A and B are shown apart, each in its own frame.
Chain A
């Protein structure tokens, strides 16, 4: 499929101290390294191995990922927001690339 493209869903605004839910999805085959091609050769592993979420530069949540995570990986988690600012999300690919997405939130 096309180049991995992150999708993130979080509210535009929140009250100070509110715990918000963040949903993320990225298109990726998550090739496990366990499969073989038509000639019987192993298909090399290529997965998203790390996901991180920061808020205004401070780590909030991250995952260390193994090949047992499904294709098009989905992560849902929470964050407590005290101030307006920007979330930064990163997905690290086995091929060395990092896909990032930034999204802001305002305190009501």
Chain B
């Protein structure tokens, strides 16, 4: 029964995609994202050199008026509940060393400003790029003598959201000159353009070639990641970037890699770079 439903869904998806190509072209919203009437976000940016698109756009522009409104007001944005939870975790001691994040880093508003805009970064010890989730786990193990968070643990999502939120409005900028970042960028790019799954789609099939069109009822964005972790109306919860990557790959009807594996870390490096210049929107609100 379930299989049959999935098959139908797959057929519908393909049919919808064809329709999207021929009929449903819709421009992104002609709108400015100003949070609480004071903080203007950059939702359209000039692409970095070598970028395939003419303009880098935030996914916010592809959402309906009602969804966009939720992100414009920090009170109405349900993601802010998780920012508050993250602040609580930041100040709570954990692990054998009896330390909290604040024990070493003090006020996050000062010490974490800019962090969310510049990760992933090269980690010389691990000899690979790491994202904020992995940086938190490194701190927990090395400095707090605490257990690393399991992938998508509620506290991992809340703390990552809190740390990224300290860079709200700052432009995304990954430093590809660190360590071997450039070759990870290349690997990520290869993944981005590789077709996969029973539906034979690459990231580019939807987010580069067809952004602005509809896949069935969904208005396809450029797939930028400047708002992650993102509050998704569908889950009514925070969704981490690697969870979203896995969801997208699953929807091509492919086997999906584990979170934080080389293939997904490389993809994070590359996709983050594609959003260069957009403001960090964490916690963004999406459908």
Direct contact of A and B (CB under 8 A): yes
- Is A72 touching B75 in the complex (CB atoms < 8 A)? no
Chain B residues near A74: list those with CB within 8 A.
Answer: 76, 78
Closest to A30 in B: B236
* Cβ–Cβ contact B75 & A25, under 8 A: yes
| A residues in contact with B154, CB < 8 Å | 1-2
Bitwise, A61-73 to B at CB < 8 A (1) or not (0) is 0000000001110
Is B195 interfacial (CB-CB < 8 Å)? no
Decide: A1 near B236, CB < 8 A? Known: A7-B75, A72-B78.
no
Within 8 A of A (CB), among B47-78: 75-76, 78
Complex Cα spacing A2 to B157, Å? 12
A-B contact number at CB 8 A: 34
A5 at the binding interface (Cβ < 8 Å): yes
Give per-residue flags for A60-89: 1 if the beta carbon is below 8 A from chain B beta carbons, else 0.
Answer: 000000000011101000000000000000
**A51 to B: closest C-beta gap in Å:** 16
List residues 217-259 of chain B with CB under 8 A from any CB of chain A: 236-237
What residues of A have a CB within 8 angstroms of the CB of B82 in the complex? 1
| B residues near A9, Cβ cutoff 8 Å | 75
Is A23 engaged at the interface, CB distance under 8 Å to the other chain? yes
C-alpha gap A25/B154 in the complex (Å): 19
Question: A27 at interface (Cβ–Cβ under 8 A)?
Answer: yes
Q: Given the complex, which residues of B lie within 8 Å of A71, measured CB to CB?
A: 236-237
Which residues of the partner chain B approach A1 to less than 8 Å between Cβ atoms?
Answer: 81-82, 85, 154, 237
Cβ-neighbour of B236 out of A2, A5, A72 (below 8 A): A72
CA distance A8 to B57 in the complex (A): 33
Determine the main DSSP class of B at the interface with A.
helix
Q: Which residue of chain A has the shortest Cβ distance to B157 in the bound complex?
A: A1
* B180 interface residue (CB < 8 Å to A): no
Number of interface residues of A (CB under 8 A): 13
Write the chain A residue with the least CB distance to B79.
A72
A1-45 vs B, CB cutoff 8 Å, 1 = contact: the mask equals 110010101000000000000010101010000000000000000
Evaluate contact between B76 and A27: CB separation under 8 angstroms. no
Known: A71-B236, A71-B237, A72-B236. Is A2-B85 also a contact (CB below 8 A)?
yes
Please report the total number of B residues contacting A with Cβ < 8 Å.
12
B175 CB-CB contact with A under 8 Å:
no
Tell me the nearest residue of chain B to A29, going by C-beta: B236
* Interface pair B76/A5, CB less than 8 Å apart: no
Contacts of B84 in A (CB 8 A): 5, 7
Q: Of the candidates B81, B88, B237, which one forms a contact with A25 in the assembled complex, judged by CB atoms under 8 Å apart?
A: B81
Q: Which of B82-130 contact A (CB under 8 A)?
A: 82, 84-85, 88
The answer to whether B236 and A70 touch across the interface, beta carbons within 8 angstroms, is: yes
Residues of B within 8 A of A5 (CB): 81, 84-85
Q: How far is the CA of A35 from the CA of B235 in the complex (A)?
A: 14
Query: Which chain A residue shows the least CB distance to B154?
Result: A1
Chain A residue, CB-CB nearest to B73: A23
Chain B residues near A7 (CB-CB < 8 A): 75, 80-81, 84
Most buried by A among B81, B85, B154, B236: B81
Query: Shortest Cβ distance from A100 into chain B, in angstroms?
Result: 17
Alpha-carbon separation in the docked complex, A27 to B82 (Å) = 9
Contacts of A29 in B (CB 8 A): 236
Contact across chains for A27 and B236 when beta carbons are under 8 A apart: no
Complex contact A25–B76 (CB within 8 A): yes
Chain A contact residues, CB within 8 Å of chain B? 1-2, 5, 7, 9, 23, 25, 27, 29, 70-72, 74
Give 13 pairs: A residue, B residue, CB < 8 Å, sorted on A: A1-B82, A1-B154, A2-B85, A2-B88, A5-B84, A7-B81, A9-B75, A23-B76, A25-B75, A25-B81, A70-B236, A72-B81, A74-B78
